[in-house]
Amino acid sequence: MQPASDIFNKSVSNGSFGLNLGYSKTLKGGHWGGDITGFFDAMDYNFYIPYSMRFTGYTNYTGVAVGPKYCFNPKSDVQFYLALYLKGGYNWGDGFVYKGPNKDEERQTENKSVTAGTTTAFSPVASLTFPVDFGNMGIELGYDSSDYGRGIRKLRSNYYQPINYHSGYLFAGVFFRLGD
């Protein structure tokens, strides 16, 4: 198997998705605080298999993230934070094999799902936040050590050997948190 594309061509992933909803609390003085956030993340993978076949796999991860945060400018309307989250959750994976002469004419020949169990990870994050009526929202950049290969490593197939894929990732996102 080989990745369906490379870094100079197009992304191996068709697109990944994450959804977080949480609560944020800032301590007196405004510099220190903490967040608790429920999350659902989905990451997909594409690989070519010999004989005009293609594998598409998904790892899904859901759970709770908690962590402290530090604000560098608590008196400003737009605030800059650094945070470190500890994530705990549950993984599962899905894999699909398609066969055909090209992507427009291929047909699905295999569909498998597997549970990948519980896992923990950490995520350092930098964010720009501004207040809204019921909390705060903003943009964030960070790293997540969650192993998104975990869900597809456990898949077994008639068409390919088990995939030995391990992955953390860099991310950029928009968020909304209830609280202050």
Domain ranges of the chain: 2-179
Q: Are strands 17-26 and 169-179 parallel, antiparallel or unpaired?
A: parallel
Using an 8 Å Cβ cutoff, are 172 and 77 in contact?
A: no
Using an 8 Å Cβ cutoff, are 57 and 45 in contact?
A: yes
pLDDT of residue 18: 81
Predicted TM-score (pTM) above 0.85? no
pLDDT of residue 166: 74
With a cut of 70, list the residues of the chain below it in pLDDT: 1-15, 179-180
Amino acid at 132: V
